[in-house]
Structure 1
Amino acid sequence: MDALERFIVEAKAVTYMAGKKAAEVPSRQGAKDIPYEKGPYRYLDSHFGGTDFLGQEVVWHDETPVWAMNYYGRIIDPERFDGERAGTVIKQALSALYQEKRFLGGFAYVHPLGEYLDDAAGDYRSFIGTERILVDGRLAYRLDYQGGMIKR
Structure 2
Amino acid sequence: MASIPHDLAAFLVEAKRRTYAGLDDDATVAMPLLAGSKQLEHRAPPYAYRDIYFGMGFFVGQETVLRDERMIWSMSYSGGARAEITDRDTFLAIYKFLRQALLGVRVEEPYRGPRMFEQDGMVYRNEIEGALDRFHGVETIARHDGAPLYELRYGGGLLR
Q: Would the alpha carbon gap of residues 74 and 86 (structure 1) be closer, same or farther in structure 2, given more than 3 Å must change?
A: same
Number of equivalent positions = 149
Q: What is aligned with 2:16?
A: 12
Q: Given the alignment, which residue of 34, 57, 64 partners 1:58?
A: 64
Q: What is aligned with 2:47?
A: 41
* 2:80 corresponds to 1:71: no
Q: How big is the shift at 1:82?
A: 3.8
Would you say the 8 A contact 1:119–1:129 is kept in 2? Answer: yes
Measure the CA separation in 2 of the matches of 1:133 and 1:126: 24
Q: How big is the shift at 1:113?
A: 3.8
Q: What is aligned with 1:144?
A: 153
Q: What is aligned with 1:103?
A: 110
Letter in 2 for 1:4: L
Letter in 2 for 1:107: R
Measure the CA separation in 2 of the matches of 1:44 and 1:106: 21
CA displacement, residues 110-135 of structure 1 (integer Å, 9 cap, x when unaligned): 11241111111011111100010012
Measure the CA separation in 2 of the matches of 1:106 and 1:114: 14
Give the alignment's Cα RMSD to 1 decimal: 1.9
SS at match of 2:36: coil
* 2:12 corresponds to 1:3: no
CA displacement, residues 62-112 of structure 1 (integer Å, 9 cap, x when unaligned): 1110000000012124167843112111111122x23x4342466111112
Letter in 2 for 1:86: I
Normalising to structure 2: TM-score of the pair? Answer: 0.85
Q: How big is the shift at 1:19?
A: 3.3
Give the unaligned 5+ runs of structure 2. Answer: none
Q: Would the alpha carbon gap of residues 23 and 106 (structure 1) be closer, same or farther in structure 2, given more than 3 Å must change?
A: closer
Normalising to structure 1: TM-score of the pair? Answer: 0.89
Identical-residue share of aligned pairs (%): 30
* 2:93 corresponds to 1:85: yes
Task: Give runs of ≥4 in structure 1 deviating > 6 Å.
Answer: none
Letter in 1 for 2:18: V
